[in-house]
Every structure is written in C-alpha cells, then in structure tokens.
Amino acid sequence: MLLEIKNLSVSLDGKKLLTDINMSVHTGARHLLSGRNGSGKSTLVSAIAGNPQYTIDNGQIIFDGRDITHENTTTRALMGIFIGAQNVPEIPGLTVLSFLKHSMAAHTHFNTGHDLSMGEFLTKLDTARTKLDIPKEWLNRSVNVGFSGGERKRLMLLRLVMTMPRLAILDEPDSGADATTQKQIADTIREMPDTTFLFISHQQNFTDMIEPTATTILSGGKIMIE
C-alpha cells in the first residue's frame, strides 16, 4: 500500500469540506477519483499535497508507511508526491530549463545525498523532451507564460517524466488538452509502471484510455463507492 487516507476530515475557513474519508491507493495503481463538481475531489488532492490553506480536522495521511499528515508541501514533494494541478501558475522570469534543473537537483540530493551533474541533467532532459516531442525553444521561455492549455499539459508531462515520482496526483490532466495531447497523457501514464497514479477526470473517453485499476467516488465530501 503506497497511500492510505484514514478518517480524514478537512475544512477551509471553518467550513467542513471532507468528512471521515477512508481510501487506499495500492502501489502501481491507476486510481480514478470521481464525482460531481464540488464533491471534494480537489480538496482531497490539496490535503494530500499539504496545501496549508486547508485544515486537517481529524485523521491521517500515510505515505509508504509514514505519517505525513503534518509534513509540509516541500517535504512531500521530495518524498515523491507529484502534483499536476488543473490551474498552474505563470512564473515570469523563471525559465522552464531552470525550473526543471532546480527541481531535479533537489530531488537528487534528497534521495541520494549527492549533487546532480549538469551532464546527467541535460542527458535526461534531452531524452524526455524528445520522447514527448517538446520543442527545444520552450526550455528558454518563462514557466507557463504564453503557453496554451495543451502546451502547459505537455510541460507537466515533461516534469513528470523527468522526476519519475512514486505517486503522481493529476487533477483533470485532460482539461484544456486536445485529443492528441490527451492520448499522449494517457500513453505516458500507462508507460510509467513504477509510478502510482491518482487522477481526476470528467471525460469518459480519456478515462477509458488510461484504464483505471480502481475507482473512488466522492459526493458531498464523503466516500460513496470504492
């Protein structure tokens, strides 16, 4: 078991959004988190990620046997929890290349205690970029600035392939992506057996391409079916 949610209740500004959530995500799963808008899916994702805006009122979040309920977002990311948010921020002045390098360097040092060599980084970057058919010119542009919705999803895929997280949480990765990009996202997910996926989607055709191994349905901040 990679991720366990135990009796989790979450609130925002005093309003309870999740109540007594119990959910397990097995290692290697492609786990679909489903439900209508406002059912609590994005709140649960934010709680797992450690978003400080949300208050954990009760319960635990266990990642690979470790209680991370009160760990900060950075620690969770370094432990191997990747977040592909639905709405990503623009970061003027920070190039895609620099962003990826700093991210890779932090992960490498956390996991091995060693510094990332520029040669190792560039080799991995070139391999991932070529695989995803991402133009080299994108690397010198500011993160997400001037990129279309579909292009931002492809940059998310590049970061995903570069970091190879243990758990990737993707909040509507198909949103804003055309059919070709959606297929590329689904193909990439299926081609990463060492990464466990928890994803949200409202599009049946996209979900069918991923072939989820498990489904959890939320309604009104509670688990309906697992």
CATH number of the domain encompassing residue 99: 3.40.50.300
Q: State the pLDDT confidence band at 54, using cuts at 50, 70 and 90.
A: very high
Structure tokens at 222: 């509670």
> Which of the pair, 14 or 226, is modelled with greater confidence?
14
Give the whole-angstrom CA distance, residue 88 versus residue 218: 24
pLDDT at 146: 94
pLDDT in tens, 86-122: 878 899 999 999 999 999 999 999 989 999 999 999 9
Q: What is the pLDDT of residues 64-79, one digit of tens each?
A: 999 999 999 999 999 9
pLDDT one-digit tens code per residue, 27-44: 999 999 999 989 999 999
User: Do the Cβ atoms of 37 and 220 come closer than 8 Å?
Assistant: no
Domain, as residue range, for 172:
3-225
Looking at residue 176, its pLDDT comes to 84
Say what the pLDDT of residue 89 is. Answer: 85
Whole-number percent of the chain with pLDDT over 70: 99
Share of the chain above pLDDT 90, in %: 89
Whole-number mean pLDDT of the chain?
A: 94
The long-range contacts involving 88-94, CB below 8 angstroms and separated by at least 24 positions, are 88/144, 88/152, 88/156, 89/143, 89/144, 90/142, 90/143, 90/144, 90/145, 91/142, 91/143, 91/144, 91/145, 92/142, 92/145, 93/142, 94/142, 94/143
The answer to whether 202 and 223 have CB atoms below 8 angstroms apart is: no
Can you give the pLDDT at residue 94? 96
3-state DSSP of the chain: CCEEEEEEEEEECCEEEEEEEEEEECCCCEEEEECCCCCCHHHHHHHHHCCCCCEEEEEEEEECCEECCCCCHHHHHHHCEEEECCCCCCEEEEEHHHHHHHHHHHHHHHHHCCCCCHHHHHHHHHHHHHHCCCCHHHHHCEECCCCCHHHHHHHHHHHHHHHCCCEEEEECCCCCCCHHHHHHHHHHHHCCCCCEEEEECCCHHHHHHHCCCEEEEEECCEEEEC
Domain count, the chain: 1
